Structure 1
């Protein structure tokens, strides 16, 4: 085993097995460690079946091409690693030596995202990190080809002083571990490239009994003075600025100086006026090999291989050369197919191009555009060659003429020669299809109306006059197709169609229809289904209605009683109000009477004399002019007189007691005054009731009753001002 410093911080470690055989097969693991961590790479040594020749493994072991990073997004701390591996690796994260289990801590989230071919972005997110989250983190990636680790140190500030950054980092494998056999198969070399600071220590574990140099019989040998070739850079193809020269180059480190050969496919490349092969020796152990192609063309495209070999091993670099040139059309287009049934014509042209070309078909000088009749197909027939077809459907005489193809890409275009389309298939006469022989279904017995009670089964049946196993049956309720359920089932024997409803309810009421159909026509039959309710339910409904009516009557009675009570209360309130009014009026009458008695005693005699004088004057004036004396009243007295007159007129007479109550004076005084004024003592009124006064008594003298009543009112109340 050997370790070589390839560059600053880079180390190449090799495990060489001399005299290898199938007994050495198995998994080998290289562990690189320093004080900041460790890296692990594993590789499987296998042999071909029935052969002692080692099998070079396919795939790509995990590799971290970039240094892991830490960034913060708000309250989330994110650790990121870029990984290359094939097949897809298994990822595990560690804090120190403790594995971080998924979903163990809700603050921690691990993701693995594909960013390109065999490339992944691995992240570990910590929400609201604390000092306890600090320490050494390790991302472990493992697949069938090997494993690798990326180490991240998470440090937090302690007080105002930041913790000291470690001067170095853990080992990381920079490329896929390799197995390199020599030409004879007697020596294999396992090689790993590691980046670390400080220089790591290595341990190789495997099926071999020791971790040094091996040979058959497990005899230790002296370390050979040299090593197998290795590539220091990825082989590459470099064109010049004008595209007139292409250079394929490989940079190799080996001791002793290796030999090399360039191949194109399986053929060895030889120098010529266009092809140059050369070597540049950078130092005693570093070499560059070049293959230069001048004025490259499409014929130079293909797979190239640089084979490098010395006595310690060999190495191959594979390169694919794709040269982009303008399309080439080597053959004339041709009509490859004419179909008479569909009147289709197909024209084909082959185009050579490194990429899929853009194509345009022309008919004479007109561009043929794709539509419902013209379709363009482009198919890759072989690598760098395409079949371009123009398909013309429902071709007519107008489609005859000259056709050509123009093919384009980024490097240019090519135009084909013309092809003539002269033959257009004529449409064949359409044959009228023969009418099928047969008859439509004939119903012998149709559906009949059915009445059932709730919960009973109902059945409809329809029979054909002639059995027809190919006929189809469809059942309808109204316009809705009936589907089979737990309650509904259908059957058809070819001659009898049945519909059965197991447990009928009101929802099954309606018109049912059966349609029987075959290729010659259809026949249908309809009938109704009536589902009747059970009698007990009817009686229950009647009782319910009676109870409802009783309740309604009770409610109506309670409402009427309430209304009567409200009316009675209103009437009682009115009566009470009238009583209060009467009490007030009586108090006022008592006061007025007392005052009147005092005043009337003084003026009674005077009034009687005046009344007699007035009566005499009125008798004298009867034969003269009938003039009404107008008595002027103050506003309150006028209202009282008007009220008294109105009361007499309304009742066609008034008792003296009522008049006394109305005027607030004694009836005797009123009587005395009115008897003289109304001629009450006249013989013509002898039959009248002495207590009843009527406005008609003095109808011969219009207005006299009013005037007399006014005078009586004033005469009975000395507080009123009388005006003649």
Structure 2
């Protein structure tokens, strides 16, 4: 300030006017990268004027003291002595002073420049694969000015917000919690920053559907087995203890989570029980299916209708015996 005071007393007159004090005392909020214009208006009672940032002189009259190429003056006639800063950054934040010299005494007017920075996610969890039932923590770290709010969603049909900020804890994750997780950081300065984490939940096979076959001799018999699992299960077919493979008369197809066993030109020896085995690194499950001749009393899912009929017959005898 001593340097400025000396300059104000020694420099020749610069045709300026008194400061619009009310306008100059406002804070200015600006986004990083934009251009800031800090206004200062004067009248003809002013003889000298300067701009300072903290204690550093930026301009003294029309003389530029700052070496920053982003900074210049905006002067429209003799009424305006405004400071322009292009490509504003966080280190530009602070107090700026428009200092004037009148015939009576020096006057100053301060403006505080506030620099806001859009939210930016600088670190997020990588895509992961976990076992069902394990605990999972996803992280999403962001910065910005003001500090951003961080929210999480699982992008399923409901996509409801989840309870988490920088860290999202999932205790005992289940298969229905697998999917794409969205982390959003926002501070209302610009469009929110968004990142995604894909979570795969591994679980053992569950055979959810089987299809036995009622096939006459000489026709093609088809057995079908469907399982859910992550990773996708591998399938094997067995007849008694013997593993089946593609050979003469037998064709095994695997279509994703479904396997089909086709037996061409069924013979009497082909009738009986078959086992479908689904496995992955998480576990194994098997199911029994039946290839049977028409009229033997088995339903399409392999259960014994003969047994059901026997139970009905016993129930009838019991009813007669007890006179129900």
Q: Secondary structure at the match of 2:208?
A: coil
2:219 maps to 343
Judge conservation of contact 1:306–1:317 (CA < 8 Å) in 2.
yes
Residue 394 in structure 1 maps to residue 272 in structure 2: no
Q: Secondary structure at the match of 1:225?
A: strand
Q: 1:258 to 1:399 in 2, by over 3 A?
A: same
- Distance, in Å, in 2 between the alignment partners of 1:358 and 1:261 is 38
Judge conservation of contact 2:250–2:264 (CA < 8 Å) in 1.
yes
2:167 maps to 290
Q: Secondary structure at the match of 1:372?
A: coil
Q: Within 5 Å, which residues of 2 pair with 1:86-165?
A: none
* Displacement of 1:250: 0.9
2:197 maps to 319
- Distance, in Å, in 2 between the alignment partners of 1:262 and 1:247 is 12
1:252 corresponds to which of 135, 138, 142: 142
Aligned residues: 194
* Displacement of 1:253: 1.0
Judge conservation of contact 1:238–1:246 (CA < 8 Å) in 2.
no
2:244 maps to 368
Task: After superposition, give the CA deviation of every residue in 1:112-163 in whole Å (9 maximum; x if it has no partner).
Answer: xxxxxxxxxxxxxxxxxxxxxxxxxxxxxxxxxxxxxxxxxxxxxxxxxxxx
- Distance, in Å, in 2 between the alignment partners of 1:238 and 1:356 is 17
2:211 maps to 334
- Which has the larger strand fraction? 2
Q: Within 5 Å, which residues of 2 pair with 1:470-619?
A: none
1:410 corresponds to which of 266, 273, 281: 281
Q: Relative contact order (alpha carbons < 8 A, sep ≥ 6): 1 or 2 greater? A: 2
- Distance, in Å, in 1 between the alignment partners of 2:203 and 2:266 is 36
Q: Secondary structure at the match of 2:269?
A: helix
* Displacement of 1:403: 1.8
Judge conservation of contact 1:401–1:422 (CA < 8 Å) in 2.
yes
Q: Secondary structure at the match of 1:326?
A: strand
Q: Which runs of 5+ in 1 are unaligned?
A: 1-13, 19-200, 203-209, 214-221, 272-276, 280-288, 381-385, 425-724
Q: 1:405 to 1:248 in 2, by over 3 A?
A: same
Q: Secondary structure at the match of 2:207?
A: coil
- Distance, in Å, in 2 between the alignment partners of 1:358 and 1:334 is 18
1:225 maps to 115
Judge conservation of contact 2:131–2:202 (CA < 8 Å) in 1.
no
1:421 corresponds to which of 274, 291, 297: 291
- Distance, in Å, in 2 between the alignment partners of 1:226 and 1:256 is 7
- Distance, in Å, in 2 between the alignment partners of 1:372 and 1:211 is 80
Q: 1:248 to 1:269 in 2, by over 3 A?
A: farther
2:184 corresponds to which of 300, 304, 307: 307
* Displacement of 1:226: 1.6
* Displacement of 1:325: 1.3
Q: Within 5 Å, which residues of 2 pair with 1:171-210?
A: none
- Distance, in Å, in 2 between the alignment partners of 1:402 and 1:242 is 33
- Distance, in Å, in 2 between the alignment partners of 1:339 and 1:316 is 61
* Displacement of 1:211: 6.7
* Displacement of 1:409: 0.7
- Distance, in Å, in 1 between the alignment partners of 2:216 and 2:292 is 14
RMSD: 3.7
Task: After superposition, give the CA deviation of every residue in 1:634-691 in whole Å (9 maximum; x if it has no partner).
Answer: xxxxxxxxxxxxxxxxxxxxxxxxxxxxxxxxxxxxxxxxxxxxxxxxxxxxxxxxxx
* Displacement of 1:389: 0.9
Judge conservation of contact 1:306–1:316 (CA < 8 Å) in 2.
yes
Q: 1:255 to 1:361 in 2, by over 3 A?
A: same
2:54 maps to none
- Distance, in Å, in 1 between the alignment partners of 2:35 and 2:186 is 17
Residue 352 in structure 1 maps to residue 228 in structure 2: yes
- Distance, in Å, in 2 between the alignment partners of 1:373 and 1:388 is 17
Judge conservation of contact 2:134–2:172 (CA < 8 Å) in 1.
yes
1:604 maps to none
Q: Secondary structure at the match of 2:202?
A: coil
- Distance, in Å, in 1 between the alignment partners of 2:291 and 2:249 is 16
- Distance, in Å, in 1 between the alignment partners of 2:129 and 2:290 is 43
Q: Secondary structure at the match of 1:325?
A: strand
Q: Within 5 Å, which residues of 2 pair with 1:378-389?
A: 378-380=254-256, 386-389=257-260
- Distance, in Å, in 1 between the alignment partners of 2:153 and 2:202 is 21
- Distance, in Å, in 2 between the alignment partners of 1:17 and 1:346 is 74
Q: Which runs of 5+ in 2 are unaligned?
A: 1-31, 37-68, 71-84, 89-111, 295-324
- Distance, in Å, in 2 between the alignment partners of 1:16 and 1:269 is 35
TM-score (norm 2): 0.51
* Displacement of 1:245: 0.8
Task: After superposition, give the CA deviation of every residue in 1:318-376 in whole Å (9 maximum; x if it has no partner).
Answer: 11110111111123x11379699x72111111111222322111223432232122121
Q: Secondary structure at the match of 1:236?
A: coil
- Distance, in Å, in 2 between the alignment partners of 1:233 and 1:363 is 54
Q: 1:227 to 1:249 in 2, by over 3 A?
A: same
Judge conservation of contact 2:154–2:182 (CA < 8 Å) in 1.
yes
